[in-house]
Each structure stands twice: as C-alpha cells, then as structure tokens.
Homo-oligomer: A and B are copies of this chain.
Amino acid sequence: MQHFSNRQIKEWERFYRANFINSLSGFKPVSLIGTVSSEGIPNLAIFSNIVHLGADPALIGFINRPIEAAPHTISNIQSVGEYSINHINASIIEQSHQTSAKYAAGQDEFTATGLTTVYKENCKVPFVAESNIQYALQLVEIVPIKQNNTFLVIGEVKDVYLDASLIQPDGFIAIEKAGSICSLGIDGYYNAAAIARYSYAKPGKKSAPIIF
C-alpha cells in the first residue's frame, strides 16, 4: 500500500486531485434532479452526492456545489420548494451525463439531452419519463457548508413512483431490478449486482446472509 499525505494531495493538478478525491469516498447513488424555474422552464441536472438522512421523517439530502458553479437547480428549488429525483439506468447514461454540461439558464436540459419530461398530479416539478424509480421531495432546509461554499439541501420525501414488484416483503427496494446504477468519481458509471442481505446484528450472535 502506498501512502499519500494531505500535503501531497494539495500539490496535485486540480483535475487529478478532483478525480482522486471524488473516487476515494466510494460508490455513489447517481440520479437526475428535476426542477422548474418560477418562469416555468424545466431544468435537469445529474447529482451523485446524495445521502440518506433518516426514515421518519423521510429525509434525503444532496450536496449542491457553490452557486457560481451550479446555480440553476438550487435557485429553482428555493423558488418552487419542490424537486424530483430520478434514478439513472444503463439506457440513459449518455443523456444523463450530458446534463452536466453548462447550459444557459434559459435552456431546458430535457430537450437539450433528449430526455422526456413527465408531470404528475400534485407535483409542480418535472420527472424523467425514462427513469424507473422517481420520487419528489419537499424542500425542508438548505444548510450552507461554510468550508467550501457548498450546500446540503435537505428534502422530505413527498411522493414515490416505482413498480411495486421491486419491493420485497419487508420494504427493501431491489433497485437493481429497475436497472438503477451507481457512479464513481466524477464520470464513472457502474452496474450493481446483489451479493446478499444480512440479518439484524446482535452482540455475540452471528449475522446470517440472506441471499436474494
């Protein structure tokens, strides 16, 4: 094993460092976030830094880069108070990745990338028709991360849309059966294959794998 110190990492060329650090934290739940501006222009952007915060209330967070680097999603969420998160599957990686291009504020990334908007009853924001697992969040709070001017955007799950056959008897969603993928670093996309689920662990009792 080789050792890399913080001092060395700081001296690296910025894209090399970004690739390295973005991969180091592990695989990510890459998804498309759909929003709409107060003028009604749909916006779609790929996000991979999404994190489960809690199940009751059902809270999910994502990290928005500094405003100058990524202004549209966060400002639409602030204006409208809602957003959709749409899982990416292998058939839409190219279009999904393309949403990371710096389109102007007035440009709709759905049209620009060839993905299809779908609107649902009771939701103000567009979803991605090609996505097999879609959910809508209600904005709860935007927490500034002062160390690097990013934001933790916290939302409460409002509506979920998926095929009920994906849900196991205990509520676990086998998202790989819907084709949902994960990502690594800034630009790597991966398929995930189930190894096993494990039973609830207790001290002194060996947890058993449950093949599924």
Chain A interface residues (CB < 8 Å from chain B): 1-6, 9-10, 12, 14-31, 48-61, 63, 85, 87, 90, 93-94, 97-104, 107, 112, 120, 132-135, 140-141, 143, 145, 147-148, 150, 152, 154, 156-164, 167-168, 170-176, 180-182, 184-185, 187-203, 205-207, 209, 212
A4 to B162, CA, bound (A): 8
From B141, B150, B206, give the contact of A53 (CB < 8 A): B150
Q: How many copies of this chain?
A: 2
Known: A54-B150, A154-B147. A173 touches B201 (CB 8 A): no
Contacts of A160 in B (CB 8 A): 3-4, 9, 24
Q: Tell me whether B195 and A161 are in contact (CB under 8 A).
A: no
Contacts of A30 in B (CB 8 A): 26
**CB nearest to A149 among chain B residues:** B54
From B21, B184, B196, give the contact of A58 (CB < 8 A): B21
